[in-house]
Chain A
Amino acid sequence: MTIFSLYIYDRHCACVYYQDWHRTKRPKPAVEGGILNAVSRAVAPQAADTSAANSSAFSSPRNTLSSNTGFVVAIGDDSSSSSTPAQAAVDGPRSNALPFDEEAKLVYGVILTLRNMVKKLSGRDEQFTSYRTSAYKLHLYETISGYKFVMLSDPSTDGLRFVLRQIYNGPFVDYVVRNPLVTMDSREQGIDNDYFRASVDRLIRGLSVFA
Chain B
Amino acid sequence: MASRSSLHMNPGSGSALALLADPPTRLIDGAAMDYFLIEAVNALRASSAVAAARAQKIEQEMAEAGLVPPPPPAKPQNHRDSVGSTTARSTTLVDEEDEGVRSRLEAIGLHVGGNFAERLCRDRPTFGDSLDAIKFVCKELWVSCWDKQVDNLRTNHRGVYVLQDNAFKPVVRISSWEGRAEALKRAKLYVALPAGIIRGALARMGLHGTVIPEITSLPHCTFQIKLPKNS
Contact = CB atoms under 8 A, between A and B. Distances in A.
B35 A181 contact: no
Nearest to A44: B177
Contact of A38 (B31, B177, B183): B177
Interface string A159-191: 000000000000001110011110000000110
B183 A181 contact: yes
A98 to B, nearest CB: 24
Nearest to B186: A181
A90 B11 CA distance: 83
B188 to A, nearest CB: 12
Contacts of B37: 180
Contacts, number: 41
Contact of A194 (B31, B38, B41, B179): B179
B46 interface: no
Interface stretch (B104-112, B117-125, B168-176, B200-208): B168-176
B190 interface: yes
A154 B38 CA distance: 40
B175 A194 contact: yes
B99 interface: no
B96 to A, nearest CB: 21
B173 A174 contact: yes
| Interface magnitude class on chain B | 10 to 19
Interface string B53-95: 0000000000000000000000000000000000000000000
A195 B177 contact: no
A179 B177 contact: no
Contacts of B173: 174-175, 178-180, 195
A193 B173 CA distance: 10
B34 interface: yes
Nearest to A197: B175
Q: Which of B31, B175, B183 has the most CB of A within 10 A?
A: B175
Interface of A: 37-38, 173-175, 178-181, 189-190, 192-196
Given A180-B34, A180-B38, A194-B180, 13 more contacts: A178-B31, A178-B35, A179-B174, A180-B37, A180-B41, A180-B174, A181-B174, A181-B183, A190-B177, A192-B177, A193-B177, A194-B175, A194-B176
